[in-house]
């Protein structure tokens, strides 16, 4: 008895000293932990190792112990049993009703019996309906948590840390970002990682790493091949020589591959956080199918926000905020808020021109209308052999809000791809003061400020010069 107690203490102390770890990749997950039992979880397709050696596993029919999923499965089975009992009672009742009826029976007794049987049938029918819905609900909940209803156990107990390789999708994660722009000159960026466990194994890891890459990557060896230049030779001889060279290269390549394809020991995983790699300490991740959200990092950066519109493509004005990220942004979906106020739950971001831009919201109070100046026939003149055509458009911009708005309009005139066609900006004229500049490829940037409830019109005219016999399209 003393020996048994001492052995138990030694096993417990060895499992407590073993550090657990979780590594989640895009194609699989690796979970290493200490255990004093053979129970693994409600899972399947899992590879199990002990001290680097593969262990055998098998499923069992019943689940004993205090594991969370065991308790949920037992509740599920009790619900199934409850449904089966109700169905059996219905069958028994139907059998009773099918028995031969007595020839002489008091009418009152017959009605009373029929009424009792009818009430019992109705109760059983309603009970079956309710229990069926209850069972389906519990089955769906369990299926979200585990891929199997059969408990998986190892053939022996591994006292030095058991290693599990979980298939793709059993443990998954995604990252998200939140930007607080309450301070108009500074953004508070917070990154979260959302982890979902559907493996059927409740995970507790002292250290957890999450990688935006596959654990199994095949990189094919590439060898330098010279780009050969030589004297022209007849087709037949050249083809024969090419075939001979190909055969020689294949032989050499095979020899090289034989040299480099020697079996090597697997490279150990380096546990450090880097771009697109995340580390979490003391992670408790039950297999519930419900996301566990953990804050990864938070930092501040100088911020500039502008209202922009591209009327030639979309007449909606929107606010775009730009900043220099302190860490790499690996997901372009954002939640934007200003203090406790949520501005946009599904904003989009992107790297552009050395900055990171987040398109925070549509400016509903700014209305833009873009119309061609000449609807039917455009003014055209011919001078010598050159045709000159004037064209343009009219922008009507209205600020319907009670606040002044400063915005940038990005529009365009045609950009010529031929020396035979020349495009010249003639005029950018507005009712109010504006600043504009002509950029390359026909791009025009117009900056303006509108007071509350103010509207302005901007006229853009350009001229196209080309040979009168030339047909153009724009």
Query: Is residue 394 in a domain?
Result: yes
Quote the pTM value. Answer: 0.71
Residue 260 clears pLDDT 50, i.e. is over it: no
> CATH no. for residue 375?
2.60.40
Asked if 199 contacts 145 with a C-beta cutoff of 8 angstroms, the reply is: no
Is 92 part of a structural domain of the chain?
yes
Instruction: Tell me what pLDDT residue 258 has.
Output: 37
**What is the predicted pLDDT for the residue at 371?**
94
Residue 236 has a pLDDT of 58
- At 178-193, the pLDDT tens digits run 999 988 899 999 999 9
Of 145, 173, 188, the domain-final residue: 145
**Strand extents, DSSP E, 377-470:** 380-383, 386-399, 405-412, 421-430, 434-438, 443-450, 455-467
Which of 260, 289, 318 marks a domain boundary?
260
Give the number of other CB atoms < 10 A from CB of residue 115: 10
Q: Are 324 and 301 in contact (CB under 8 A)?
A: yes
Q: How does pLDDT run across 128-147, given as a tens digit for each residue?
A: 999 999 999 999 999 999 99
CA distances to 79, 96, 143, 163, 463 from 124, rounded to whole Å, are 15, 15, 28, 49, 86
Query: Residue 311: inside a domain, yes or no?
Result: no
The pLDDT confidence band at residue 275, using thresholds 50, 70 and 90, is: low
Domain limit, last residue, from 115, 145, 175: 145
Which residue did the predictor score with more confidence, 82 or 112?
A: 82
215 burial via Cβ count (<10 Å: 0-12, 13-18, 19+): middle
Q: How many residues does the chain have?
A: 474
Q: Which domain holds residue 247?
A: 222-260
Residue 228 and residue 141 share a domain: no
Q: Is residue 234 part of a domain?
A: yes
Contact 124, 92 (CB under 8 A): no
80 lies in some domain = yes
Look at the chain and report how many structural domains it folds into.
3
**Segment among 113-127, 158-172, 195-209 with least mean pLDDT:** 113-127
For residue 385, pLDDT over 80 is answered with no
* Within a domain: 78: yes
Please check the confidence at residue 274 and state whether its pLDDT lies above 70. Answer: no
**Range in 202-206, 376-380, 467-471 the model is least confident about:** 376-380
Residue 269 has pLDDT above 50, yes or no: no
Residue 171 has pLDDT above 80, yes or no: yes
**195 exposure class (CB count in 10 Å sphere: 0-12, 13-18, 19+):** buried
A 10 A CB-CB count for 57 gives 16
Q: What is the rounded average pLDDT of the residues 298-303? A: 94
Same-domain status, 373 and 460: yes
User: 7 lies in a domain?
Assistant: no
In a shared domain, residues 461 and 373: yes
In a domain, 28, yes or no: no
Of 97-111, 234-248, 456-470, the range with the lowest mean pLDDT is: 234-248
Same domain for 226 and 134, yes or no, is no
Alpha-carbon 199 to chain mean position = 19
| Residues 137, 228 share a domain | no
């Amino acid at each position: 008895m003393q020996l048994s107690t001492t052995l138990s203490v030694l096993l417990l102390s060895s499992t407590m000293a073993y550090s657990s770890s979780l590594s989640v990749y895009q194609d699989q997950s690796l979970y290493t932990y200490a255990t004093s039992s053979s129970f693994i979880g409600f899972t399947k397709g899992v590879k199990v190792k002990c001290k680097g050696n593969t262990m055998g596993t098998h499923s069992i029919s019943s689940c004993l112990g205090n594991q969370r999923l065991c308790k949920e499965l037992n509740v599920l089975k009790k619900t199934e049993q409850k449904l089966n009992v109700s169905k059996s009672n219905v069958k028994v009742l139907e059998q009773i009703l099918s028995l031969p009826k007595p020839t002489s029976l008091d009418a009152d007794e017959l009605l009373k019996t029929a009424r009792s049987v009818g009430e019992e049938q109705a109760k059983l029918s309603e009970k079956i309906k309710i229990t069926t819905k209850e069972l389906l609900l519990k089955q769906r909940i369990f299926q979200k948590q585990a891929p199997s209803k059969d408990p998986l156990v190892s053939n022996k107990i591994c006292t030095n840390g058991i290693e599990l390789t979980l298939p793709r999708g059993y443990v998954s994660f995604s990252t998200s970002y939140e930007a607080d722009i309450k301070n108009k000159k500074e953004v508070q960026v917070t990154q979260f990682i959302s982890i979902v466990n559907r493996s059927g194994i409740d995970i507790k890891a002292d250290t957890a790493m999450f990688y935006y890459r596959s654990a199994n990557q095949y990189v094919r060896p590439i060898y330098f091949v010279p780009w050969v230049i030589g004297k022209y030779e007849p087709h037949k001889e050249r083809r024969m020589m090419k075939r001979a060279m190909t055969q020689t290269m294949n032989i050499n390549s095979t020899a090289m591959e034989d040299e480099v394809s020697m079996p090597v020991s697997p490279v150990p995983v380096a546990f450090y956080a880097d771009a697109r790699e995340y580390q979490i300490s003391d992670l408790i991740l039950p297999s519930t199918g419900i996301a566990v959200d953990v804050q990864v990092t938070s930092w501040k950066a100088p911020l500039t926000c502008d209202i922009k519109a591209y009327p030639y493509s979309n007449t909606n004005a929107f606010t775009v905020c730009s900043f220099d990220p302190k860490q790499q942004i690996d997901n372009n979906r954002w939640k934007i808020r200003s203090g406790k106020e949520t501005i946009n739950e599904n904003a989009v971001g992107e790297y552009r021109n050395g900055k990171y831009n987040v398109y925070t919201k549509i400016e509903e109070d700014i209305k833009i209308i873009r119309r061609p100046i000449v609807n039917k026939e455009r003014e055209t003149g011919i001078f010598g052999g050159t045709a000159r055509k004037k064209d343009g458009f009219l922008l009507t911009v209205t600020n319907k809000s009670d606040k002044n708005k400063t915005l940038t309009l990005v529009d365009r005139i045609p950009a010529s791809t031929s020396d035979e066609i020349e495009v010249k900006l003639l005029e950018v004229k507005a009712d109010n003061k504006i600043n504009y500049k002509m950029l390359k490829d026909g791009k025009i940037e117009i900056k303006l400020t509108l007071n509350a409830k103010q509207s302005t019109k901007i006229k853009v005219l350009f001229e196209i010069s080309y040979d009168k016999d030339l047909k153009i399209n724009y």
